[in-house]
Amino acid sequence: MRLGPPKRSSRPAYGQDDLTRMFFPPNYATSRARFREAAQRLRWDLHAQKIEGKGPDGEELTIDAAISPIASAKNVVVISSGLHGVEGPFGTAVQLAVMDEWQRGKGLPSDVRCVFLHGLNPYGYAWERRVDANNVDPNRNLLLPGDKFAGSPKGYRSFDGLLNPQRPPLHWDRWTLRAWWAWLRHGLPALKEAMVVGQYEFPKGLFFGGNEPGATHRVLGECLRQWLGECQSAIHLDFHSGLGRWGSYTLLLDGHPLTKNLQVQLDRWFGAGNYEQDDSKGVAYQPRGSFGSWCMGQNLARNYLYFVAEFGTYGSVAMLGGLRAENQAHHWGQRDGVVEQEARARLKELFCPADANWRSLVLERGKILVNQAVEAMAG
């Protein structure tokens, strides 16, 4: 399927080439360097936690934290990027744009501390995969103690052949037809469940949650509490892309019950109707090992509110097809094969479109969300 922005492209553009040049990094190493430079310009404290392995050019892989040095502030805003590696350029772009704005304009309120986390899955970012070095989705790997790395939704097995073909990729693959056929046969809810819940039985399959805590899990377990410091209340926005309508966002509360009181507060902070709870649509299944539930299980603060800030790109058939093709290319193809390279390039485009309109739109909306979180914590 040929990729490109939808016909009805939306907003007026402004300085779009500059936005791409300044904020959307071309690769992990540049992204990390820019993130650290931006933090240094703000005189924020920097931390880096190395993980095993190297990037494609032999570069070190680290999870980086930049922290505004307002130790006395007990209210914290956490902004994280790249939990899904290939979504890293988008999340980093929001972080860089916000830091740039703060450096040029008004500084942070003195009673809020910011903790920016860069490249939570540095392997995936560097190698342009959504998953880590062991094909593990870090956002399904963060199981709480006592929860076993085992099992898969019963629908997953019936989709295994469709999602995870065990052969080298071909130029011509009737993915769209197959996808529609599978949806008709097994139903969309079964496919959605297979995708949302995660699975712990097919190590080379999509949405694999792993057999043990992975690199991201371990670093977060060792460092996040220390990076947060003393913290009473926190809003955590974890930036993701790939689900939802082109350029629009969904703010998804994860791991925390949406009580009446909280709803009143969130209406004030983000606007009524601008957020939802992860199960607000009455979907019976919940993701396992998600970052939000894990944060809640750590007792990081008296009030810790974790949100997925999910920005839409392409339609779900294209997204799933792109994930499938890249995963197939990774496990069964040759690294330098033409089809394989195309699959990787396409995955990048699917999760961070090159379209200038999309980029300026998501940057504007991302910055608004971060500033809303800061104002909420300042209040």
- Which residues contact Zn ion by CB under 5 A? 84, 87, 240
The closest alpha carbon to 313, from 263, 260, 362, belongs to 362
Distance of closest approach, residue 371 Cβ to Zn ion, in angstroms: 22
Distance of closest approach, residue 59 Cβ to Zn ion, in angstroms: 23
Q: Of 87 and 128, which has the nearer Cβ to Zn ion? A: 87
Distance of closest approach, residue 379 Cβ to Zn ion, in angstroms: 29
Distance of closest approach, residue 254 Cβ to Zn ion, in angstroms: 12
Distance of closest approach, residue 6 Cβ to Zn ion, in angstroms: 21
Q: What is the 3-state secondary structure (H, E, C) of the chain?
A: CCCCCCCCCCCCCCCHHHHHHHHCCCCHHHHHHHHHHHHHHCCCEEEEEEEEEECCCCCEEEEEEEECCCCCCCEEEEEECCCCHHHHHHHHHHHHHHHHHHHHCCCCCCCEEEEEEECCCHHHHHCCCCCCCCCCCHHHHCCCCCCCCCCCCHHHHHHHHHHCCCCCCCCCCCHHHHHHHHHHHHCHHHHHHHHHHCECCCCCCCCECCCCCCHHHHHHHHHHHHHHCCCCEEEEEEEEEEEEEECCEEEEECCCCCCHHHHHHHHHHHCCCCCEECCCCCCCCCCCCCHHHHHHHCCCCCEEEEEEEEEECCCHHHHHHHHHHHHHHHHHCCCCCHHHHHHHHHHHHHHCCCCHHHHHHHHHHHHHHHHHHHHHHHC
Q: Of 240 and 324, which has the nearer Cβ to Zn ion? A: 240
- CB crowding 278-307: b at 16 or more within 10 Å, else e: beeeeeeeebbbbbbbbbbeeebbeebbbb
Distance of closest approach, residue 271 Cβ to Zn ion, in angstroms: 23
Distance of closest approach, residue 215 Cβ to Zn ion, in angstroms: 17
Q: Of 159 and 291, which has the nearer Cβ to Zn ion? A: 291
Q: Are 50 and 35 in contact (CB under 8 A)?
A: no
Structure tokens at 73: 């502030």
Q: Which residue is nearest to Zn ion (CB)?
A: 240
Strand 233-246 and strand 303-312: pairing? parallel
Distance of closest approach, residue 83 Cβ to Zn ion, in angstroms: 6
Cα 78 from chain centroid (whole Å): 14
Q: Of 240 and 346, which has the nearer Cβ to Zn ion? A: 240
Distance of closest approach, residue 285 Cβ to Zn ion, in angstroms: 18
Q: Of 287 and 333, which has the nearer Cβ to Zn ion? A: 287
Distance of closest approach, residue 108 Cβ to Zn ion, in angstroms: 27
Strand 112-118 and strand 233-246: pairing? unpaired
Q: Of 87 and 193, which has the nearer Cβ to Zn ion? A: 87
Q: Of 75 and 193, which has the nearer Cβ to Zn ion? A: 193
